[in-house]
Amino acid sequence: MNITKSKELYEKAIKVLPGGVNSPVRAFKSVGGTPVFIQKGSGSKIYDIDGNEYIDYIGSWGPHLFGHSPDFIKEALIEAIENGTSFGTPTEIEVRVAELVRELVPSIEMIRFVNSGTEATMSAVRVARGYTKRNKIIKFEGSYHGHADFFLIKAGSGALTFGIPTSPGVTEGNAKDTSVADFNNIDSVKNLIQKNKNEIAAIIIEPIAGNMGVVPAEKSFLEELRQICESEKIVLIFDEVMTGFRVAKGGAQEIYNIQPDLTTFGKIIGGGLPVGAYGGKEEIMSLVAPSGPVYQAGTLSGNPLAMAAGYSALSYIKSHPEIYNDLENKSAYLANGFINNLKLFNKNFQLNRVGSMMTLFFTENEVKTYNDAIKSDTNLFAKYFWGMLSRGIYLPPAQFEAFFVSTAHSNDDLQKTIETQREVFSEIFG
Ligand code: KE4
């Protein structure tokens, strides 16, 4: 594949942008090689600056439930921009989006819009701390909630009841208030709660993890987590930045029929523009400034352009709930094609899927926890990634990520992807 222009541009990019990118995963570090620079997206396709066409399974890491620039979002933006871009004042559209989220996700009584998933999760933790007057939080190994300091923490050694920073610049002070439990292991949660009795403000979880690759929570685990938070008066936060409006109209909480105290959103809620949100019980959210003392603010929060795109996306979901059947059918077709390919090469790699988000783990062990996931062969994954990319299939450039099917993916796209994968497996496995 000819990516000459991408290579030339990357040489310039790395001189002015750390790693040549504005978000690390885009730099292809875990698969090697030069990242391709994308110039355009339309429907299920993206096009790089060398003119290569790809069937896109990243969808901007989740926002593009309907593929790239669907007409209804484009039209909403064109209409909105006629009135200006941002005012820093209350606007009607913000109220309409908030009311629409409340309609689609019953656990949301009150919501605050911000500009990213990170802002949403960090603010949700802050208001949970303000509400409970407790300091500590529990997260799960392998889960990612954005880059706020207190999330960049890995499990401490057995003796430690708190975490260890995973990044320079994150202080011990932050780490001591974050404990890390094992996903799908309720005893690990109980153990940390016992060791930090009455000190835990919140437990934050991706109900369907996407950031260790796709690993759904077991229903019994999530039910028990809900009960424990109830009895221990801990705020349960569902981080649905990825799963919100992705796996169902009402997100993962609709699938599991479990109501968290707070939910965080991002990605799809912005229709491709920068929007995050946190919301839930009014008795908690009413503590957020200016109605309460928990401070949080943002110059461009709820800006009219992003709200117009988000409103357009969520309105489409509300009026076309059948899209989730379409997404399920397309995703199941693709997954079955992948499974059949693996059988041809006697490989029992694990494909975890919930609706239109999935991960093919290059390991033959089932993947129910972070420790299962990291058994995957990342070198083999890198070969697979480049084999697919060079044949026009754009997958996440990392094993521990989800990939996504959109309503714009046609049966031809899916069939081509299945056939291409078979070629790549033949090249890799012989
Ligand atoms: P942002 O700050 O990137 O908008 O959202 C952070 C975040 C929070 N919670 C969950 C469950 C998330 O998946 C994310 C962001 N997801 C990554 C992809 N795994 C974004 C891609 C990137 O970092 O560039």
Tokens 């390991």 correspond to: 363
What's the whole-number average pLDDT of the chain? 97
> What pLDDT score was predicted for residue 300?
98
User: Do 189 and 64 belong to one domain?
Assistant: no
Return the CATH number at 358.
Answer: 3.90.1150.10
For 29-85, the pLDDT digits (tens) are 999 999 999 999 999 999 999 999 999 999 999 999 999 999 999 999 999 999 999
Tokens 């990634």 correspond to: 385
> What pLDDT score was predicted for residue 158?
66
User: Do 207 and 107 belong to one domain?
Assistant: yes
Range of the domain at 263: 71-319
Q: For the chain, which residues score pLDDT lower than 50?
A: none
According to DSSP, the β-strands at 262-265 and 208-209 are: unpaired
> What pLDDT score was predicted for residue 162?
75
Return the CATH number at 208.
Answer: 3.40.640.10
User: Do 237 and 342 belong to one domain?
Assistant: no
State the total domains in the chain. 2
Specify which residues 215 forms β-bridges with: 209
* Predicted TM-score of the model (pTM): 0.98
Q: Are 189 and 138 in contact (CB under 8 A)?
A: yes
Tokens 């200016």 correspond to: 290
Of the residues 276, 304, 319, which one is the last residue of a structural domain?
A: 319
User: Do 170 and 271 belong to one domain?
Assistant: yes
Q: How far apart are CA 209 and CA 205, in angstroms?
A: 8
Pocket residues: Cβ below 6 A from ligand 1: 23, 25, 61, 116-118, 121, 144-146, 206, 210-211, 239, 241-242, 266, 276, 401
User: Do 82 and 58 belong to one domain?
Assistant: no
> What pLDDT score was predicted for residue 279?
98
Of the residues 302, 319, 336, which one is the last residue of a structural domain?
A: 319
Distance spanning both ends of the chain, measured CA to CA? 21
Please name the residue whose Cα sits nearest to atom 24 of ligand 1.
Answer: 23
Pocket probe mutation, ligand 1, options 25, 61, 267, max atoms within 8 Å of Cβ: 61
> What pLDDT score was predicted for residue 39?
98
Q: Does residue 239 have an active-site annotation?
A: yes
Please name the residue whose Cα sits nearest to atom 15 of ligand 1.
Answer: 146
> What pLDDT score was predicted for residue 159?
64
Half-sphere exposure of 233 (CA within 13 A, CB side): 8
User: Do 50 and 83 belong to one domain?
Assistant: no
Q: How far apart are CA 303 and CA 126, in angstroms?
A: 23
Kindly name the residue from 131, 144, 278, 384 that is annotated as catalytic: 144
* Residue 25: partners with Cβ closer than 8 Å, 6 or more residues away: 61, 396, 397, 398, 401
Backbone angles phi, psi at 73, to 5 degrees: -80, -40
User: Do 95 and 108 belong to one domain?
Assistant: yes
